[in-house]
């Protein structure tokens, strides 16, 4: 059962743990469609917490959560039921939910950002509504206010890079964008996003007792091979007195799991397979004394195929870099055809077809999305992991 919320089960928690026993969210934003559907959803799990609808120009949602949780409040002005195959896709408000009273306000319904809009950013619209609530929301708002200049700058740069590269005439951009300009805009956006992340990490570290800081630090653990084991130990000490006791207990378990992919550990010597189907240990492909780049990819993965030219360029410019591409294809035919089409002249291997060995390799490197690139240092330590080939290219 999800730890974040229970709508119908009584929780025997100390009353001091929360401002109240239930939450209430009320809003009367001008311009909402009568009968419009309203849904409160947890951001990470996507679990629905409460539903409602606009009646007489307003709505109210009630329920109970077992711990503070980041949520989206989505208001869909299309009347239900939606046509088959369509889902709620309205305007969205972000809030940090606890058992307290909340009020959501905005000048007009149309001023609230859409949950998704091509070439736009919902983050940039977060300044156009206001959420008033209890202590959890106040702490979240304090983080947002502190981060807003960095968030805004990074999001604007990301939108600019996207519009130049993909927007074309719709946004007054050239039909054939200049690759150098696109790369410069992308680099700027990535750099600003990294700065924003660093500032958010610093904010969380400076406010260790707040539940939202614990949430942020927990999210940061999704960056595999990013923190050292020493840094991970420091985290458990730093956030020990966090007011979300249940959240801290879950955080400690997550830190223990993160140590398996701590930056600086010896690379896991997993079993792979060759093109002719033979088992091979990764250690036979890694060159001691040289940097090794592992590129997990697949023939059916568009972003993976799009990254191959960058890897080719690295291979040509840096012969001292030992590159090993590791296919996630199950089909030998698909894999070998892609190798011929892409003319990948460096070392090649694939995940094993044996299910147990396959799971072992995927687990050891936490392969969740591809392309996935791992950098191994000359002394055999994992020092970097990224899903962005451009980020790896910039290391050399």
Q: What is the DSSP string of 212-243?
A: HHHHHHHHHTTSTT-S-HHHHHHHHHHTTT-S
Residues 100 and 36 in one domain: yes
Please give the average per-residue pLDDT across 366-377, as a whole number.
96
Beta bridge partners of 63: 23
The tokens of 57 are what?
A: 């120009």
Judge whether 276 and 352 are in contact, CB under 8 Å.
no
From CA 260, how far away is CA 265, in angstroms rounded? 8
> The CATH number of the domain where 361 resides is what?
3.40.30.10
200 in a structural domain: yes
Lowest mean pLDDT among 25-29, 170-174, 356-360: 170-174
**Percentage of residues in the chain with pLDDT exceeding 70?**
92
Confidence of residue 173 (pLDDT cuts 50, 70, 90): confident
The yes-or-no verdict on residue 139 having pLDDT over 80 is yes
127 in a structural domain: yes
**Percentage of residues in the chain with pLDDT exceeding 90?**
82
pLDDT digits (tens, 9 = 90+) for 274-305: 999 999 999 999 999 999 999 999 999 999 99
The yes-or-no verdict on residue 323 having pLDDT over 80 is yes
Residues 167 and 213 in one domain: yes
The yes-or-no verdict on residue 88 having pLDDT over 90 is no
Residues 246 and 285 in one domain: no
Residues 221 and 298 in one domain: no
Report which of 282, 266, 294 is spatially closest to residue 381, judged by C-alpha positions: 266
Residues 116 and 152 in one domain: no
Please give the average per-residue pLDDT across 355-370, as a whole number.
94
Residues 341 and 313 in one domain: yes
pLDDT digits (tens, 9 = 90+) for 259-273: 999 999 999 999 999
In the listed set 260, 280, 308, which residue is the last one of a domain according to the structure?
A: 260
Beta bridge partners of 105: 130
pLDDT of residue 17: 42
Residues 273 and 228 in one domain: no
Residues 382 and 269 in one domain: yes
The yes-or-no verdict on residue 79 having pLDDT over 50 is yes
Residues 75 and 171 in one domain: no
Residues 256 and 274 in one domain: no
14 in a structural domain: no
pLDDT digits (tens, 9 = 90+) for 175-211: 888 989 998 999 999 999 999 999 999 999 999 999 9
From CA 98, how far away is CA 323, in angstroms rounded? 49
Residues 164 and 200 in one domain: yes
The tokens of 215 are what?
A: 């949430």
Confidence of residue 344 (pLDDT cuts 50, 70, 90): very high
Confidence of residue 7 (pLDDT cuts 50, 70, 90): very low
Instruction: Return all residues near 335 (Cβ < 8 A) that are at least 6 apart.
Output: 275, 299, 327, 329, 350
Number of domains in the chain: 3
Please give the average per-residue pLDDT across 113-129, as a whole number.
87
pLDDT of residue 177: 87
Residues 107 and 164 in one domain: no
For the CA atoms of 130, 135, 139, 141, the dihedral, rounded to the nearest 10 degrees, stands at 0
In the listed set 76, 108, 131, which residue is the last one of a domain according to the structure?
A: 131
pLDDT of residue 268: 97
Reported pTM: 0.83
Confidence of residue 333 (pLDDT cuts 50, 70, 90): very high
Q: Which domain holds residue 90?
A: 23-131
pLDDT digits (tens, 9 = 90+) for 214-250: 999 999 999 999 999 999 999 999 999 999 999 999 9
> The CATH number of the domain where 95 resides is what?
2.60.40
The yes-or-no verdict on residue 159 having pLDDT over 90 is yes
5 in a structural domain: no
From CA 132, how far away is CA 249, in angstroms rounded? 29
């Amino acid at each position: 059962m999800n730890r974040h919320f229970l709508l119908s089960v009584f929780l025997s928690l100390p009353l001091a743990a929360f401002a109240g026993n239930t939450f209430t969210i009320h809003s009367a934003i001008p311009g909402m469609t009568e009968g419009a559907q309203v849904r409160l959803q947890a951001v990470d799990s996507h679990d629905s917490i409460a539903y409602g609808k606009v009646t007489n120009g307003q709505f109210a949602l009630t329920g109970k959560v077992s711990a503070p949780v980041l949520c989206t409040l989505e208001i869909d002005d299309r009347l239900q039921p939606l046509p088959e195959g369509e889902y709620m896709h309205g305007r969205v408000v972000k809030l940090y939910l606890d058992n307290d009273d909340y009020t959501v306000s905005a000048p007009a319904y149309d001023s609230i950002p859409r949950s998704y809009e091509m070439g736009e950013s919902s983050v940039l619209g977060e300044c156009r509504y206001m959420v008033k609530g209890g202590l959890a929301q106040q702490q979240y708002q304090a983080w947002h206010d502190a981060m807003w200049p960095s968030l805004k700058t990074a999001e604007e740069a990301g939108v600019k890079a996207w519009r130049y590269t993909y927007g074309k005439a719709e946004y007054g951009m050239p039909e054939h964008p200049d690759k150098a300009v696109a790369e410069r805009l992308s680099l700027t956006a990535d750099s600003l996003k990294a700065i924003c992340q660093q500032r958010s990490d610093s904010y969380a570290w400076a406010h260790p007792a707040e539940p939202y800081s614990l949430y942020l630090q927990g999210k940061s653990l999704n960056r595999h091979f990013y923190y050292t084991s020493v840094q991970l130990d420091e985290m458990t000490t730093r956030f020990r007195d966090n007011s979300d006791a249940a959240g801290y207990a879950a955080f400690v378990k997550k830190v223990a799991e993160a140590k398996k992919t701590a930056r600086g550990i010896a690379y896991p010597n997993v079993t792979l397979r060759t093109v002719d189907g033979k088992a091979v240990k990764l250690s036979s492909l890694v060159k001691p004394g040289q940097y090794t780049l592992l590129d997990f990819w697949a023939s059916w993965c568009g972003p993976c195929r799009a990254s191959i030219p960058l890897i080719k360029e690295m291979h040509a410019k840096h012969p001292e870099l030992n590159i090993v591409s590791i296919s996630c294809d199950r089909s030998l035919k698909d894999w070998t055809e892609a190798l011929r089409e892409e003319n990948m002249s460096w070392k090649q291997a694939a995940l094993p077809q044996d299910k147990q060995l396959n799971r072992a390799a995927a687990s050891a490197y936490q392969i969740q999305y591809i392309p996935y690139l791992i950098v191994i240092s000359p002394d055999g330590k994992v020092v970097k992991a990224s899903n962005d080939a451009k980020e790896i290219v910039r290391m050399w």
